[in-house]
């Protein structure tokens, strides 16, 4: 009898050990690399899937450093993709010249007035792609470059991939050879961290961010107007009719841009204020509260969808954040759901330095010199009520 009990205890102990190992193995975040099509020049685009134990999967592709999809559960456990985009590389090559779905923006995110800036006494002209202005880095910006996998892996804290890009001197008119990288890390606390880094061999300007289109009800589900937004900012960067900064940082109080108290996006989306009429909705850079210190994250925004219960929180160490209600989507883009994307079908959060900073000495500088390191972090945290 004693031998039988001893044997049973051993079997139970072994079974418990096996179960614990299985749970631990299941809980370990995972990174998986697969082929995802070819570009016209023959380069193979890779897809990197980052998965955690919260049933969240983020897919990134090496074209444009793009976040292609983010699948995460709602309050009922239903999993859906909440990031707009395309299900083939052809979709991005064809459509991402002006829409920037999920892409890394660079060398300089947002606008450069007249595609011109002066650095250390020399004037540079960058490729223009929005009238006479440069938007998000120019015609062939970082969003349309082939990035290489520099590192990929996982541990108990998260699954990650680091993508690298070398932008040569003169790329889109920018001086200096810049080596840039973005590291995406999906953690078991359901945070997706994007760390942007860059170095240069000559004085230049750099302002990197990401351009994801989010719909917390799910990709292709229509309007985001019922979603409830809070932006942690007391001021915004005033712009003119061409969306170029006037140089003024204006208080949000008493305007349609005041999201200090959370409210529905629809509440003031059709405001008659000029700052809303000119861009046809929200498309502005907010000045995030608190001192902008590299590595010191501050809350920038919180978005809640009352229908699905999903919540998206944004944290950053950047001084500003562009918030955009996809005003230019007009039905010409069709996503994996088969639904056409239209105005107001998504929102974009773009933590960054202020637009046209190179031409405004009162804005935080975006100059980068040899020996210096550009290093900024943004976190998107997913949850549900």
Chain centroid, CA 169 distance in Å: 26
Residue 16's pLDDT is: 43
Q: For 217-229, what is each residue's pLDDT tens digit?
A: 999 999 999 999 9
Closest CA to 208 of 164, 252, 158: 164
Closest CA to 260 of 319, 302, 316: 302
Of 160, 211, 376, 384, the active-site residue reads: 211
Cβ atoms of 184 and 58 within 8 Å: the answer is yes
Interatomic CA distance for residues 138 and 101, integer angstroms: 15
pLDDT, mean of residues 128-147:
97
Residue 338's pLDDT is: 97
pLDDT, mean of residues 307-332:
97
Q: For 57-84, what is each residue's pLDDT tens digit?
A: 999 999 999 999 999 999 999 999 999 9
Q: Residue 12 — φ and ψ, nearest 5°?
A: -65, -40
Average pLDDT, the chain: 93
Interatomic CA distance for residues 206 and 373, integer angstroms: 10
Residue 310's pLDDT is: 98
Which residues are CB-neighbours of 46 under 8 A, at least 6 positions away? 33, 34, 35, 36, 61, 62, 149
Residues making up the annotated binding site for beta-D-galactose are 110-111, 211-213, 283
Interatomic CA distance for residues 215 and 336, integer angstroms: 14
Q: For 108-145, give one letter per residue: b (16+ CB within 10 A) or e.
A: bbbbbbbbbbebeeeebebbbbeeebbbbbbeebbbbb
Structure-derived torsion over alpha carbons of residues 122, 128, 130, 133, reported in degrees to the nearest 10: 10
Tell me which of 27-36, 141-150, 221-230 is least confident: 27-36
Which residues are CB-neighbours of 107 under 8 A, at least 6 positions away? 137, 141, 142, 167, 171, 172, 174, 178, 180, 204, 205, 206, 207, 208
pLDDT-above-70 percentage for the chain: 93
pLDDT at 25 over 50: no
Cβ atoms of 101 and 211 within 8 Å: the answer is yes
Cβ atoms of 92 and 66 within 8 Å: the answer is yes
pLDDT-above-90 percentage for the chain: 91
Fold classification of 33-384 is Beta-galactosidase; Chain A, domain 5 (2.70.98)
Residue 28's pLDDT is: 83
Residue 90's pLDDT is: 96
pLDDT at 186 over 80: yes
pLDDT, mean of residues 179-190:
97
Residue 7's pLDDT is: 43
Known active-site residue 136:
no
pTM (global) more than 0.85: yes
pLDDT, mean of residues 263-288:
98
Known active-site residue 350:
yes
Residue 156's pLDDT band (cuts 50, 70, 90) = confident
Residue 97's pLDDT is: 84
Residue ranges of domains in the chain:
33-384
Count of alpha carbons within 13 angstroms of residue 331, beta-carbon side: 0
Reported as type and span, the H/E element at residue 138 is none
Reported as type and span, the H/E element at residue 231 is strand 228-231
Q: For 90-133, what is each residue's pLDDT tens digit?
A: 999 998 888 999 999 999 999 999 999 999 999 999 999 999 99
Q: For 175-203, give one letter per residue: b (16+ CB within 10 A) or e.
A: bbbbebbbbbbbbbebbbbbbbbbbbeee
Residues making up the annotated binding site are 110-111, 211-213, 283
Of 160, 350, 353, 384, the active-site residue reads: 350
Residue 244's pLDDT band (cuts 50, 70, 90) = very high
Interatomic CA distance for residues 126 and 9, integer angstroms: 73
Q: For 277-304, what is each residue's pLDDT tens digit?
A: 999 999 999 999 999 999 999 999 999 9
């Amino acid at each position: 009898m004693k031998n039988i009990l001893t044997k049973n205890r051993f079997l139970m102990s072994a079974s418990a050990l096996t179960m614990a190992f299985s749970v631990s193995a299941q809980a370990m975040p995972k990174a998986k690399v697969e082929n995802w099509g070819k570009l016209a020049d023959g380069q193979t685009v890779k897809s990197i899937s980052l998965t955690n134990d919260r049933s969240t999967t983020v897919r990134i592709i090496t074209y444009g450093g793009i976040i292609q999809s983010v699948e995460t559960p709602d309050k009922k456990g239903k999993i859906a993709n909440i990031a707009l985009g395309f299900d083939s590389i052809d979709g991005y090559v064809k459509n991402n010249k002006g829409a920037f779905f999920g892409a890394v923006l660079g060398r300089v995110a947002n606008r450069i007035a007249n595609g011109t800036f002066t650095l250390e006494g020399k004037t540079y002209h960058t490729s223009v792609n929005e009238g006479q202005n440069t938007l998000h880095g120019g015609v062939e910006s970082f969003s349309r470059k082939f990035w290489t996998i520099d590192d990929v892996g996982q541990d108990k804290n998260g699954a990650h991939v680091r993508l690298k890009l070398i932008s040569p001197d003169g790329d889109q008119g920018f001086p200096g050879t810049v080596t840039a990288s973005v590291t995406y890390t999906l953690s078991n606390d359901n945070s997706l961290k994007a760390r942007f880094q860059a170095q240069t061999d000559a004085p230049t300007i750099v302002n990197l961010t990401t351009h994801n289109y989010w719909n917390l009800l799910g990709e292709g589900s229509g309007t985001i107007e019922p979603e409830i937004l809070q932006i942690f900012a007391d001021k915004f960067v005033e712009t003119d009719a061409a969306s170029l900064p006037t140089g003024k940082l204006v208080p949000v109080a008493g305007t349609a841009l005041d999201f200090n108290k959370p409210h529905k996006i629809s509440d003031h989306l059709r405001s008659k204020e000029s700052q809303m009429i000119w861009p046809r909705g929200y498309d502005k850079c907010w000045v995030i509260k608190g001192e902008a210190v590299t590595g010191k994250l501050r809350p920038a925004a919180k978005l809640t969808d009352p229908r699905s219960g999903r919540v998206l929180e944004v944290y950053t160490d950047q001084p500003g954040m562009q918030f955009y209600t996809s005003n230019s989507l007009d039905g010409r883009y069709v996503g994996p759901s088969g639904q056409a994307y239209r105005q107001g079908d998504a929102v974009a959060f773009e933590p960054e330095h202020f637009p046209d900073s190179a031409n405004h000495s009162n804005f935080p500088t975006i100059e980068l010199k040899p020996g210096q390191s550009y290093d900024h972090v943004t976190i998107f945290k997913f949850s549900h009520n």
